[in-house]
Chains A and B, each alone.
Chain A
Amino acid sequence: MMTRTFPAPTAIFRHAALLVTAALILAPFVWMVSLSIKPPGEIFRASFSFWPEQFYGIENYTKAITKVPVLRYMLNGVIVCASILALQIAVCAPAAYALAKLEFAGRDLFFALVLIALLLPQEVLALPLFILGYKIGILNSYAALIFPYVVSPFGIFLFRQFFKTIPDDVVHAARLDGYSELGIVWKIMIPMALPAIVAFGIFSVVSHWNSLFWPLIAVQDQNLMPAPLGLMSFRSEEAGSDYGPLMAAATLVLAPLIMVFMVAQKWMVEGLAAGAVK
């Protein structure tokens, strides 16, 4: 919106520059997919071409699935992300409702604690959480991957902001209709705040699907590893000798995210911008 009309050279320059940066941005993705469908011979001959002379995708992807349990890693990721999100909503939504719509002693202190918890990076807490997990004997299990995240200060904060925009009359009317407070949270507030819930859901799932630090600490068992940790252990085993299947595995791990992104990108990007610039 800098200028209203463009002389043709400006428009051409704009597209040329953006295509160059887009190509640089996409290079690792494209190269990854390209290597995932090439036979070892072609990978080590190091050609520039994206498409292989001999299509080797089926062999590479089969090997990624059978030789290492990539699908298992992904299933673990799904189980962990879904459990975390469900627990986060179950814990955060009632608390956010109390903060947004109820008057009670200690509310301001509770909200202050939420804001302070927002400041604390998970990595700093990892050591005591590891000791806690060890003491209660849940290390190396799904529970170990899930428990540090069951409450999300960001979730409480975000839901509270959204619940506050819902008129108090709605709450009063629901009480008159005989809803319990918890019933109001589940049947009134959450449906009305669905955009915020979905936005939080996407960011929660994406960040936990991608996370490496805590899983690296919490589990050793191959059968429990979420996708990034599984990929990392696959890579260390291969030590760079079998690129094709490794790239196939990386592509598989990325695929669900890319699909979610393609469906929801406009909306995700705008949500992020609105949240940050406000």
Chain B
Amino acid sequence: MSLPNSKREARRRGASPASANGRSTRLSDMIAAWTLAGPALFLLIVLFFLPVLAVFVIALTDWQFGASTLSFVGLANFEEVFADRGFRASLFNTLAYVAIVVPGTIVLGLAVALLIESGKSFRAFYRAIHFLPYMATLTAMAIAWEALLHPTIGLVNQTLAGLGLPTANWLRDESTVLPVLAAIGIWQNLGFAMVLFLAGLKSIPQDLYHAAEVDGADLWLDRLRTVTLPMLGPVFMFVLIVVALKAFETFDTVQVLTQGGPGHASEMLLFTLYRESFQYLRTGYGASVAVVFLIIVVALTLIQARVMDKKVHYQ
């Protein structure tokens, strides 16, 4: 997606004078244009811009859903949020989860892409299988994972026991629950990373490999290091940010499998946002969590836009 590029393009086109049209035709053109764009603009304002403003306003009040009065309390909600051990655990867990899921997804996605691309047979077959979890209903798959991870009858513990390895109550143990959720996150997203890496690999000119061979890069590993990985740079950054965004937005597995537990061990930002806003009806607090979440997401997206912008320059 080349957002910044198209923004620039729009600016350029907008700057050009609208040629020799008469004033009345321009007015009727404008009415026609706004008749087409108006409904979308109205809905964008009502469903996106007013709500996002409302979140910021609510975050500065002590309002509780259903209450008829409210007063402004400044940044008190944010102070409460950051002083709250539950929230700090949630933020820390989310960062830890992202720190496992992002490298795991990238390394495995790249490895699978390289394996698929290194031969010609069954490419579409392998690609389809690895991509499947990305589009599967995560709620349904979470239920399947729960069965796999069941402490007594689950396939995972049976296999481990059969191999003489230690077993665990994966989703009820504070030390395993977050890594297990992260493993499910990697399982879900690696196919997405794989697809993007495959596209990136296809766009590397073959000449570069020939040149590398002439220069003595005879081993596959040398060519990987000198040609493949450097040429994948832009794709790499894109995958990194998109997967990080996906990981920050994890909700379904937490909601279905752990409810943030045991204790706060698997509580993550969106689950905290949901529980505070809609179960505890701590509206101001929930809105503050939403603001923190929004800032993280927007920061990541802006980094992505900058990176893609740079990429556009040298293409």
Residues of A at under 8 Å CB distance from B? 1-3, 6, 10-11, 14-15, 17-18, 21-22, 24-29, 31-32, 35, 43-44, 46, 48, 91-92, 94-95, 97-99, 102-108, 110-121, 123-132, 147-148, 150-151, 153, 156-157, 161, 181-182, 185, 206, 209-210, 212-213, 216-217, 227-229, 231-232, 235, 240, 243, 246-247, 250-251, 253-254, 257-258, 261-262, 265-266, 268-269, 272-278
User: Can you spell out 14 A-B residue pairs with CB atoms less than 8 angstroms apart?
Assistant: A2-B114, A94-B40, A112-B7, A119-B297, A121-B297, A124-B52, A150-B47, A153-B48, A235-B256, A253-B140, A261-B135, A272-B192, A273-B199, A276-B1
The complex places the Cα of A182 from the Cα of B31 at a distance, in Å, of 13
- The majority secondary structure among interface residues of chain A is helix
Given A21-B130, A132-B51, A185-B36, A31-B143 contact (CB < 8 Å): no
Task: Verify if B174 is at the interface (C-beta below 8 Å from A).
Answer: no
Are A265 and B128 interface neighbours, CB within 8 A?
yes
Are B39 and A91 interface neighbours, CB within 8 A?
yes
Selecting from B10-18, B71-79, B80-88, B92-100, the interface stretch reads B10-18
| Chain A residues with CB below 8 A from B69, complex form | none
Are A231 and B48 interface neighbours, CB within 8 A?
no
Task: Verify if B68 is at the interface (C-beta below 8 Å from A).
Answer: no
Residues of B at under 8 Å CB distance from A? 1-3, 6-7, 10-11, 14, 18, 29-30, 32-37, 39-41, 43-44, 46-52, 54-55, 58, 65, 108, 112, 114-119, 121-122, 124, 126-133, 135-141, 143-148, 150, 152-155, 158, 187, 191-192, 195-196, 198-204, 206, 209, 220, 223-224, 228, 235, 238, 242, 249, 251-252, 255-256, 270, 273-274, 277-278, 283, 286-287, 290-291, 293-294, 297-298, 301
Are A14 and B40 interface neighbours, CB within 8 A?
no
Are A253 and B199 interface neighbours, CB within 8 A?
no
Q: Which residue of A lies closest to B239 (CB)?
A: A276
Are A2 and B118 interface neighbours, CB within 8 A?
yes
Are B118 and A10 interface neighbours, CB within 8 A?
yes
The complex places the Cα of A117 from the Cα of B51 at a distance, in Å, of 11
Are B10 and A129 interface neighbours, CB within 8 A?
no
| Chain B residues with CB below 8 A from A213, complex form | 251-252, 270, 274
Q: Which residue of B lies closest to A272 (CB)?
A: B195
The complex places the Cα of A225 from the Cα of B49 at a distance, in Å, of 28
| B294 CB contact (under 8 Å) in A48, A114, A116, A121 | A121
Given A27-B148, A253-B137, A277-B200, A102-B36 contact (CB < 8 Å): yes
Are A28 and B36 interface neighbours, CB within 8 A?
no
Are B44 and A117 interface neighbours, CB within 8 A?
yes
Q: Which residue of B lies closest to A228 (CB)?
A: B139
Given A2-B118, A276-B238, A277-B200, A108-B14 contact (CB < 8 Å): yes
Smallest distance from the beta carbon of A103 to chain B beta carbons, Å?
5
| Chain B residues with CB below 8 A from A272, complex form | 192, 195-196
| Chain B residues with CB below 8 A from A10, complex form | 118-119
Are A119 and B301 interface neighbours, CB within 8 A?
yes
| Chain B residues with CB below 8 A from A92, complex form | 40
| A277 CB contact (under 8 Å) in B121, B141, B150, B199 | B199
Given A28-B148, A250-B140, A275-B1, A257-B135 contact (CB < 8 Å): yes
| A130 CB contact (under 8 Å) in B141, B224, B278 | B278
Are B37 and A99 interface neighbours, CB within 8 A?
yes
